[in-house]
Amino acid sequence: MSDTESNGTEAASVTVGYIGLGNMGAPMAKRLLDWPGGLVVCDARAEAVEPFSTKGARAAASPAEVASAATVISVTVLDDAQVRAVVAGPDGILSTARPGTVIAVHSTISDTTAVELAATCESAGVHLIDAPISGGAMGAQQGRLAIMVGGTDEAFAAVREPFGRFAELVVHAGGVGAGTRMKLARNLLHFISFTAATEAQRLAEAADLDIRELGKVVRHTDAITGGAGAIMLRETTARLDEADPWFSILAHARNLGEKDLSLALDLGDRLGVDLPLALRAITGLGPGLGVGPGSISTAFAQEHA
């Protein structure tokens, strides 16, 4: 038997626990119901546990009871305070966890909380990893989540197979806290993009356009181009040398972007629509891409100095 096969067999024999069966946790845990090593579930609401126990999962009354049976435990609760209680409270996981147990926190919490709890767990021989998720309720229902893991190589190896049940992409971001930092960067883009979408809608509405039809176009073309993620391919954000192969590609993107942004700003001026994000983008796009400002943004900055 190869090392890969051996590791897979060993992982499959482990009992998995799941604490927190809400909108995200329930569909994730559902995909572990047929886990070969068995599933133990826990939630403060009996009605959330019942669908799992009727399908063969063991119901636990507390996080401590989960840890008495499981050595890989996922936690999807509301916030830092609940995570602390589940992990290190009086009836928490650490009160019964065996050395080598891996606690995976899927909740989006502070990276400092993750680091602090990991240190507490380490003193008991237990691994805590921060493993926030991206993809929303739809991704959880479809088993298509992305999970960003912060933790040791050993802990990552222990969770890789069970995580594969509910995630299409599992990334080892680095040490404890790195998963949360990656999630925060990802969601920074997400919600700034939402804000940009509201700005685009205001411009479209002022131009007497159907913003629902605009939404159809955005979703269609982003599915083709990859949206903002399409430019996230370099290893660094540093300024590019003009001899770098990426320079011409990203300079082309800058030139197209500056042209379209200047046209949108002109339309906004004529319609009396304030476009603060577009103003920020026309001067920030080129430097952000690592190729510096183009001729259009340079002229724009001089004109508005």
| Residues assigned a catalytic role | 183
Amino acid 94 reads L
Tell me the H-state helices in 123-177: 136-142, 153-163
Cα Rg, the chain, nearest whole Å = 24
DSSP for 79-120, written as a single string: SHHHHHHHHHSTTSGGGTPPTT-EEEE-S---HHHHHHHHHH
Strands 133-134 and 145-150, sheet pairing: antiparallel
Question: How far apart are the C-alpha atoms of 265 and 268, rounded to whole Å?
Answer: 5
72 beta partners: 16, 102
| Contact predicate 231/289, CB 8 Å | yes
**Residue 151 corresponds to which tokens in the numbers above?**
């933790």
Q: What counts of helices (H) and strands (E) characterise the chain?
A: 13, 9
- The SS3 call for residue 168 is strand
